[in-house]
């Protein structure tokens, strides 16, 4: 039985979510503030966390920030009444896997949950690396190096780079990138992919002579191994 932590201070909403999840066969627990949420995360192992941004004592963003210091794997879906791009991007930058804007249909939330629980946690060996030319990524330590220079990436930028490198020399559409990196079929504007490609380029390509990340007009993006 999969375990889901519901972090939500609106009692009626958290109860509705809990009942729906239990009906679907999930084990659940509710935290109505950030401090309890962190305590539950430390005391137990969760398959997925539903995390409201606006909660008392510690904000959802702060809970997420602290969680990701020690846990890169547990899927986190943000629940927010805010429909601002900045809030969504901030949450994704901190390591959230997905977000749902209130009010939402419970069927959509359940579909997002199923999608994330289907994704296996990647288990890597200490020595496993991806390389493209002089760019390398250690999948165990998450260290990114180009030409002996270490590059710092946010969790979302790292996931995007890894997906490109795993598919080097293959042109990937924005929809493919969105589904694989963000973890669900995205039905809205895919401009967020362009934004994150720009972020990664600034860090991986800008200071070097040869750009690895290429735009294929009308299709999407690829990372090219120029040594091939």
Listed by start position, the domains of the chain span 3-118, 129-223
Which of the four pLDDT bands, split at 50, 70 and 90, describes residue 113? very high
User: Rounded mean pLDDT of 70-84?
Assistant: 81
pLDDT digits (tens, 9 = 90+) for 180-208: 887 654 455 668 899 999 999 999 998 88
Q: Which of 114, 144, 122, 159 is nearest to 204 (CA)?
A: 144
Section 85-109 average pLDDT: 83
Q: What confidence category does residue 6 fall into, taking pLDDT thresholds of 50, 70 and 90?
A: very high
The pLDDT, as a whole number, for residue 120 is 59
pLDDT at 190: 67
Residue 38: both structure tokens together: 């962190």
Pairing of strands 143-146, 149-151: antiparallel
Q: What's the pLDDT at 84?
A: 62
Q: For residue 72, is pLDDT > 80? A: no
Which tokens belong to 148?
Answer: 């002996």
Pairing of strands 98-101, 76-80: parallel
The structure tokens listed for 179 are: 């589904």
Please give the class, per CATH, of domain 3-118: alpha beta
Percentage, residues of the chain above pLDDT 70: 89
Q: Are the C-beta atoms of 226 and 210 separated by less than 8 Å? A: yes
Q: What is the mean pLDDT of residues 131-147?
A: 89
Q: Does position 125 have pLDDT exceeding 80, yes or no?
A: no
Fold topology of 129-223: Arc Repressor Mutant, subunit A (1.10.10)
Q: What is the pLDDT of residues 204-228, one digit of tens each?
A: 998 888 999 999 998 899 999 875 4
């Amino acid at each position: 039985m999969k375990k889901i932590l519901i972090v939500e201070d609106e009692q009626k909403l958290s109860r509705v979510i809990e009942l729906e999840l239990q009906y679907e066969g999930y084990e659940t627990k509710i935290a109505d503030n950030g401090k309890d949420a962190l305590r539950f995360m430390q005391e137990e192992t969760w398959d997925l966390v539903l995390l409201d941004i606006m909660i008392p004592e510690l904000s959802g963003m702060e809970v997420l920030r602290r969680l990701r210091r020690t846990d890169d794997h547990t899927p986190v879906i943000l629940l927010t009444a805010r429909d601002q791009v900045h809030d969504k991007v901030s949450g994704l930058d901190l390591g959230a896997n997905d977000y749902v804007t209130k009010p939402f249909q419970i069927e959509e939330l359940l579909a997002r949950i199923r999608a994330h629980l289907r994704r296996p946690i990647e288990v890597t060996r200490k020595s496993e690396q991806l390389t493209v030319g002089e760019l390398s990524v250690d999948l165990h330590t998450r260290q990114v190096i180009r030409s002996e220079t270490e590059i710092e990436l946010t969790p979302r930028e790292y996931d995007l780079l890894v997906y490109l490198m795993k598919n080097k020399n293959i042109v990937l559409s924005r929809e493919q990138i969105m589904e694989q990196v963000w973890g669900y079929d995205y039905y809205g504007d895919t401009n967020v992919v362009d934004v994150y490609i720009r972020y990664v380029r600034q860090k991986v390509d800008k200071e070097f002579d040869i750009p690895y990340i290429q735009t294929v007009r009308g299709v999407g993006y690829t990372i090219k191994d120029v040594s091939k």
